[in-house]
Amino acid sequence: MPDLSAFPITVRWPARHPDRIQLYSFPTPNGVKVSIALEELGLAYEAHTVQIGKNETWTPEFLSLNPNGKIPAILDPDGPGGKPLALFESGAILLYLAEKTGRLIPGDAAGRYETLQWVFFQMAAVGPMFGQLGFFHKFAGREIEDKRPLHRYRDESKRLLGVLETRLAGRDWIMGEYTIADIALIGWVRNLIGFYEARELVEYDALRNVPAWLERSLARPAVQRGLEIPPRG
């Protein structure tokens, strides 16, 4: 049985199954990327709910794994060379899981890099812009009288949706086949029109390809399961 005692995070979130991948997360758009991937890949894992609303990501135990204090993070007892591997940043985790299993990413070098560019597109553009739009549209930022920040993030979010709309023309999935590029984007597009209540603001219903892609994505059983993992508690 693997020994994970060297990782302080296991003190606060004990591993009942230390031979499985340990997932420390919360069902946010970033968090569900990893749970969806784990479900799609059928990997054995144990999910731990990290209550971000209670600042549990800023506890010493969590910071020992991710010094940036953000979910998700994983601890794989069977990492490279058979040694435990602690990993944070959702994009890095998606790539690690895909390469660990040889699935959800093309096997050829060109396809691999093309997939990664769309994962990085989500990480660098879609996530930050959609998140800021949510802040200024639904949360504390909506009280700001100056609406220029809201309009900036609205316009940029619409532009990014347009990029996806063009990419998905004639394709069911970002890469033609279902990959980690799709998994990276599902939670963010879903959140934008759902939790952030920005459907009309970004004129989502004027699109054709993105809504059809999201519907296909949400119909996948692994996606449906992953969106609810870990439980909010």
pLDDT digits (tens, 9 = 90+) for 149-196: 999 999 999 999 999 999 999 999 999 999 999 999 999 999 999 999
The pLDDT confidence band at residue 70, using thresholds 50, 70 and 90, is: very high
* Domain interval for residue 22: 9-103
DSSP 95-146: HHHHHHHT-SS-SSHHHHHHHHHHHHHIIIIIHHHHHHHHHHHTSGGGG-S-
pLDDT of residue 82: 94
Pairing of strands 73-76, 45-49: unpaired
Residue 226 lies in a domain: no
Residue 2 lies in a domain: no
Strand partners for 85: 76
Structurally, the chain folds into a number of domains equal to 2
pLDDT of residue 74: 98
- With tokens 């135990």, the residue in question is 61
Of the residues 103, 119, 150, the one at which a domain ends: 103
When the pLDDT of each residue in the chain is averaged and rounded to a whole number, the result is 97
Lowest mean pLDDT among 37-41, 143-147, 179-183: 143-147
Q: Give the closest residue to 21 by CA, choosing from 89, 91, 100, 74.
A: 74
Helical axes 180-193 vs 209-218, angle rounded to 10°:
110
Q: What is the CATH number of the domain that holds 194?
A: 1.20.1050.10
Query: In the numeric block, which tokens belong to residue 207?
Result: 């699109």
145 and 203 co-located in one domain:
yes
Would you state the torsion angle of the CA atoms of residues 99, 224, 32, 38, taken in this order, to the nearest 10 degrees?
-30
Do residues 65 and 88 make contact, with C-beta atoms less than 8 angstroms apart?
Answer: yes
The pTM (predicted TM-score) of the whole model is 0.96
What average pLDDT does range 19-30 have in this prediction? 98
For residue 3, pLDDT beyond 90: no
157 and 69 co-located in one domain:
no
For residue 1, pLDDT beyond 80: no
pLDDT digits (tens, 9 = 90+) for 102-134: 999 999 999 999 999 999 999 999 999 999 999
CA distances from 83 to 12, 20, 77, 184 (A): 22, 13, 6, 27
